[in-house]
Amino acid sequence: MNHGTSLLWKQRALSSLSATRRGLPKEKMSENGMSRAKVLTIDTMNPTVKKVEYAVRGPIVQRAVELERELSEGMKKPFAEVIKANIGDAHAMGQQPITFFRQVLALCSYPELLSDSIFPEDAKNRACRILNSCGGNSLGAYSASQGIESVRQDVARYIERRDGGVPCDPDNIYLTTGASDGIVTMLKLLVCGEGAARTGVMISIPQYPLYSAALAELGAVQINYYLNEEKCWSLDISELQRALNEARRYCNPRALCIINPGNPTGQVQSRQCIEDVIRFAAKERLFLMADEVYQDNVYAEGCQFHSFKKVLFEMGPEYSETVELASFHSTSKCYMGECGFRGGYMEIINMDDEVKAQLTKLLSVRLCPPVPGQALMDLVVNPPQPGEPSYERFISERTATLSALAEKAKLTEQVLNTVEGIRCNPVQGAMYSFPRITIPEKAIKEATDVGQQPDMFYCMKMLEETGICLVPGSGFGQKDGTYHFRMTILPPKDKLKILLNKVQEFHQKFTQQYS
């Protein structure tokens, strides 16, 4: 290297160091002595993406994956396996798929199996019907952006049956990539304005982090309303009003999101509560978004799922012809648990026709939801009927899955409530418990010193000592000064008992250590 080249390298290095100190993009030296700053850096990327957080797959889950790898490499740990109770991934937790669903999907994926006598005739007939609705009779073809027409018709008929005959127009059904896709799409339509006119969206606290993450990415204003933990996570209209009145000072509230049955809190809203929410939305001119993906997961005696659409129409034309509503369902939860297929739908009610055209345009950009997920959604809303060969087995498997979940919901509540310093509300529905935990002041101070939320500190300690992966309540939102964790009830009963015993032992040890 000659003197001139050496001097050039030094100048480049000093320039890069100076830029780094000033927070400018760092230049990278190439072999020919030229430098080039990266176009995309942490400082030049979309700032709203950096605000996105998703606790369900956050740092504690990343550490759980590391621990699994370390165990596989033979590293000694105080536990033999990592039990991931952080996410509602039913099949990963051991829940068995519904035979009929998998048979039809297998036939659709590989039609040569239609000649195999191992498959029942109703599964073959259903597969042929689905394939006849696909381009080229193939599950691998694109569908219409709104979804396969015959599937949307089946969804509409399902909704009519579920809601006691309330009409459903297939043109108001949009098939989606899981419920999440539909929720984010609706939020995209709703968010507009700048400054004090920026769209605000009301979400429950505790909430499912999809909502806060989507709102952060869209640059919308998150408006928190708090569920009442002392009353089994009930929703109070007075709290909605408080949150709305405060928010109107700094944004333009336009939408109200409800999760029923609740995630992460497991509550099931009463019909009266749903009526009150609809009246509130009508009075305050709010677009209603009803996340109803756990509609089959209701366990507690005296609780019943009521769809927002059904209640809306039973309240009469004053509401059914004016209140704007989008409701969402999915193949990922309930007794199906088919998360990986990413099937779902949304139904829209009273949407402006011009906005509806814009919605269709927006959906066309992503071409179509996964066609196998659409096929699965069709099977969920149109399962085997009495008299068909697969009916008895379908009912048996469905009942067994939901009964097991109900049993595990009760077991979780009972065991956690035996632990001093843990208080768990009844798990009325969905797939999670969200118990409140008492964390000693000494532990809170240590967590603060290391820059962690106290419940993150608690859950990370539990993971390292027991192999149990839970999600801290701070990832879902909670009232100041309270601490929680979310735990799925999905593991098989024998493994769930082990998990609960480990939680019990850890909490007692943790409390003693920091007392």
| Residue 215, in any domain of the structure | yes
Q: pTM of this prediction?
A: 0.86
Tell which of 325, 353, 382 closes a domain: 382
318-321, long-range: CB within 8 Å, 24+ apart, which pairs?
318/282, 319/278, 319/279, 319/282, 320/349, 321/350
The tens-digit pLDDT sequence of the chain (515 residues) is: 444 444 444 444 444 444 444 444 455 555 565 667 888 777 877 777 767 666 556 788 889 999 989 999 999 998 988 988 888 888 888 899 999 999 999 999 999 999 999 999 999 999 999 999 999 999 898 898 899 999 999 999 999 999 999 999 999 999 999 898 999 999 999 998 888 999 999 999 998 888 988 898 898 999 999 999 999 999 999 999 999 999 999 999 999 999 999 999 999 999 999 999 999 999 999 999 999 999 999 998 889 999 999 999 999 999 999 999 999 999 998 888 888 889 999 999 999 999 999 899 888 888 899 999 999 999 999 999 999 999 999 999 999 999 999 999 999 999 999 999 999 999 999 999 999 999 999 999 999 999 889 999 999 999 999 999 999 999 898 999 999 999 999 999 999 999 999 999 999 999 999 88
Specify the pLDDT at position 8: 43
Q: How many separate domains does the chain show? A: 2
Radius of gyration of the chain, Cα coordinates, nearest whole angstrom:
26
DSSP string covering 266-331: -----HHHHHHHHHHHHHHT-EEEEE-TTTT-B-STT-----HHHHHHHT-HHHHTT--EEEEEES
**Is 216 inside a domain boundary?**
yes
Domain CATH number, residue 496:
3.90.1150.10
449 with 508, same domain? yes
Q: Are residues 378 and 419 in the same domain?
A: no
Classify residue 329: in a domain, yes or no: yes
SS3 state of residue 245: helix
Q: Do 312 and 357 belong to one domain? A: yes
SS3 at position 361: helix
Q: Both 162 and 221 in a single domain?
A: yes
Domain that holds residue 497: 50-93+396-514
In terms of domains, do 457 and 378 share one? no
In a domain, 270, yes or no: yes
> Is 32 a member of any domain?
no
Q: Are residues 364 and 400 in the same domain?
A: no
Q: Which residue has the tokens 């999809």?
A: 210
Is 114 part of a structural domain of the chain?
no
Same-domain pairing of 356 and 404: no
> What pLDDT score does 53 carry?
67
Q: Are residues 377 and 409 in the same domain?
A: no
CATH code, 175: 3.40.640.10
| Same domain (yes/no): 371, 286 | yes
Decide if 307 is inside a domain.
yes
Query: How many angstroms from the chain centroid is the CA of residue 222?
Result: 17
Helix (H) or strand (E) holding 471: strand 471-472
228 DSSP assignment:
B
Question: Identity (one letter) of the amino acid at 212?
Answer: S
Contact 203, 194 (CB under 8 A): no
Q: Of 318, 353, 382, which residue sits at a domain end? A: 382
* Helix or strand run (H / E) with residue 330: strand 325-330
369 with 407, same domain? no
Same domain, 224 and 342: yes
179 & 320 share domain: yes
- Final residue in a domain of this structure, among 382, 409, 435: 382
In this structure, the strands spanning 468-469 and 27-29 are unpaired
- Whether residue 39 lies inside any domain: the answer is no
